[in-house]
Amino acid sequence: MTSMDADAQLEALTRGTVDVHVAEDLLARLKTGRPLKVKAGFDPTRPDLHLGHTVLMQKMRQFQQLGHEVIFVVGDFTARIGDPTGKSQTRSVPTEEESEEGARTYAEQAFKVLDRDKTRLVFNSEWLSPMGFADVIRLAGRYRLARMMERDDFKKRWAEHASISIHELLYPLVQAYDSVALECDIELGGTDQLFNLLVGREIMREYGQKPQCVMTTPILEGLGAKLEEGKIVGDKMSKSLDNYVGITEAPRDQLFKLMSITDDVMWRYYELLSEEPASAIAKMKSECEAGQMNPRDAKLRLAREIVG
């Protein structure tokens, strides 16, 4: 374990996060001095990872560097259900072959960011596939429909009389059961995953386990994002929108794409993707604003770090 005390760890780990449930509990666990089990799940619905995925992985690596156990959950089983988060209609479900191919490439690409020797890589089909129908009924009986319908996407679709399939209601419960199977201390996810992560806390409590702490990271905007009225606006980074930087793209292509972002958005990318200390980033930004540093040089420095 690191020699950094619990308070310093908490400060470092919560940098750049949006939600922390619950900081007091997380601090108490850090004070025990034992390595914590830190889980994040990735459904292999597409074969390649991009920089948007690495925002979460950077936080995972930070936990690794502090001596904690990071568990990379490949959702090869949950991908066949389909995460309804943010969807305005029932999504198509990938075939088993597509899920297997995505799982293979995700596992390979994850180690461009994470330390292979310090990462526990698991596939959630390991504990979900053996579950029988009776097991699923018992799991479903541990959560209330009224609570499930509180999530924004379901509420909106219900109000608009749009389709909601029963299997979509099961997704948060199945994701939560991953935490039960792994007995997690912490689950990480993007801000759009907050509902699912909090369901995990409740389901763990139902199974007699201490509820996991929850931390969310921001969603990275894509290459076309701009600053408008002091706020960055733009679609999230996505392969389907072709506004992404793939982590397996050629270095020259990554560099070219990163140099295309606006100077204002560059600081957002620094905040979410760079390992530079916050003080160093603030100093660079101040120097650029004062005309003491060319923003292009700062952007090139960021691009080289990411490509590296």
Residues 244-255, mean pLDDT to the nearest whole number: 94
Separation between Cα atoms, residue 183 and residue 189, nearest integer Å? 17
- Say how many C-beta atoms besides its own lie within 10 A of residue 294's C-beta: 12
**More confident of the two residues 252 and 145:** 252
Residue 88 confidence (pLDDT) above 50: no
Full DSSP string of the chain: --SS-HHHHHHHHHTT-SEEETHHHHHHHHHT-SPPEEEEEE--SSS--BHHHHHHHHHHHHHHHTT-EEEEEE-TTGGGT---TT-SSPPPPPPHHHHHHHHHHHHHHHTTTS-GGGEEEEETHHHHTT--HHHHHHHHTTS-HHHHTTSHHHHHHHHTT----HHHHHHHHHHHHHHHHHT-SEEEEEGGGHHHHHHHHHHHHHTTPPPPEEEEEPPPB-TT-EEETTEEESPBP-TTTT---BTTS-HHHHHHHHTTS-HHHHHHHHHHH--S-HHHHHHHHHHHHTTSS-HHHHHHHHHHHHH-
Residues 51-70, mean pLDDT to the nearest whole number: 94
- Predicted TM-score (pTM) above 0.85: no
pLDDT value for 158: 85
Residues 165-192, mean pLDDT to the nearest whole number: 93
Residue 90 confidence (pLDDT) above 70: no
pLDDT value for 91: 53
Please report where in the chains the tokens 């603030």 appear, as a residue. 282
Confidence of residue 22 (pLDDT cuts 50, 70, 90): very high
Residue 89 confidence (pLDDT) above 70: no
pLDDT value for 66: 95
Contact 260, 302 (CB under 8 A): no
Strand 69-74 to 37-42 pairing: parallel
Residues 97-112, mean pLDDT to the nearest whole number: 77
Give the list of residues 6+ apart from residue 171 with CB closer than 8 angstroms, or none. Answer: 78, 81, 82, 83, 84, 196
pLDDT value for 92: 61
pLDDT value for 203: 97
User: Which of 81-95, 104-118, 200-214 reaches the highest mean pLDDT?
Assistant: 200-214
